[in-house]
Amino acid sequence: MDDGGGKGETMQYRTVIRCAELAAIAGVLWLTACDRPHAPAPETSRAPGPTRTYTIGMSQCNLGEPWRVQMNADIRAAAARHPELRVIFKDAQNDTLRQRAHVEEFINARVDLLIISPKEAAPLTEPVARAMEAGIPVIVLDRAVLGDRYTCFIGADNVKIGRAAGEWIKRRLGGKGRVVELKGLMTSIPGQDRHRGFREAIAGTDIEVVFEADMKWLEPEARKEMESALARFPRIDLVYAHNDPGAHGAYLAARAAGREKEMLFVGIDALPHEGVAYVRQGILDATFEYPTGGAEAIETALRILRGETVPKQIVLGSRVYDRSNVDRGGDPLP
């Protein structure tokens, strides 16, 4: 037995083991380095993986006016750019009870997100809150609900639009005249706000509102109310209607009475194929843009569904179109 030789062999053997250990440790370290989360994975190893799809319920209060048809079209077009989204539309046909039922149906169907453009504020407040309690985020679009139990409100500033209309009217009438105000549904917030802004702007002038009525956003109602105003007042200088269908209804009533040239007509919405076209045709004297917010609603929905925090309120801008600026695309409200 060669102790020395045997010892040498053992040493050699140990050295081999030590080398193998070091190599193993180095290998582990190298692998660990490759596994670090921020190390980019090679392109080929990134499997496409199944994408989650989301169902959005869209509760529209009615589709009777071109503006609401446009809102749905804007939502549909924006959603079509995101294959992971599926939007189910329901039309309440201007019936608050039906719209409440639609919200309940969306809750029971466990949609991933609800968009609602409510007919009226108070009666839709509770159903919206119930959706939130059921864990369904809610985007309220254009007409607000009461309180703050929703995820995000998107719409233009109706007080500002009403005030801008009042300022425009004050300038055109030289601070003096007899005006008819045809109001939008006064149980909806845009109607209340467009009224308030307008009254603030004309306060302290010699502009007198000789006749006011709630035409509920509807052209036939506006026409009927305007017939009453025409029958009662031999001189009217201007009609301020809270939307373009209302202003158009008033124009038709005045034209039927042969009096359309005696007064100016101002509306709100400014759809290219409705209010703006009326200004070009000389039917309306001015219209103020009320954007539908459809595209913004889809962008916001996506952010919510991805878990991002969104602002409680998204305020959209507006423009004024009148005979002086319609050909160059109107002017933004300051």
Q: Which residues of the chain form contacts with ligand FRU (CB under 6 A)?
A: 65, 67-68, 142-143, 184, 188, 190, 217, 243, 268-269, 290
Q: Which is nearer to ligand FRU, 168 or 217 (CB)?
A: 217
Question: Contact, 200 vs 170, CB < 8 A?
Answer: no
Closer residue to ligand FRU in complex, CB, 70/151: 70
Q: How far is the CB of 45 from ligand FRU (least distance, A)?
A: 51
CA 279, CA 269: separation in Å to the nearest integer?
12
DSSP secondary structure letters along 255-278: HHTT-GGGSEEEEEE--TTTHHHH
Distance, CA of 242 to CA of 214 (rounded, Å): 10
75: tokens are: 């939502």
Contacts of 304 (CB under 8 A, 6+ apart): 113, 137, 139, 151, 152, 310
Q: Which residues pair with 59 in a beta bridge?
A: 90, 116
Distance (Å, whole) CA 76 – CA 56: 11
Which residue(s) pair with 267 in the sheet? 287
Determine the residue type at 307.
Answer: G
Written as six digits, the tokens of 288 are 């103020």
Residues 281 and 122: beta-carbon distance below 8 Å: no
CA distance 62 to 99: 9
Give the shortest CB-164-to-ligand FRU separation in angstroms. Answer: 14
CA distances from 74 to 79, 262, 292, 320 (A): 9, 38, 8, 21
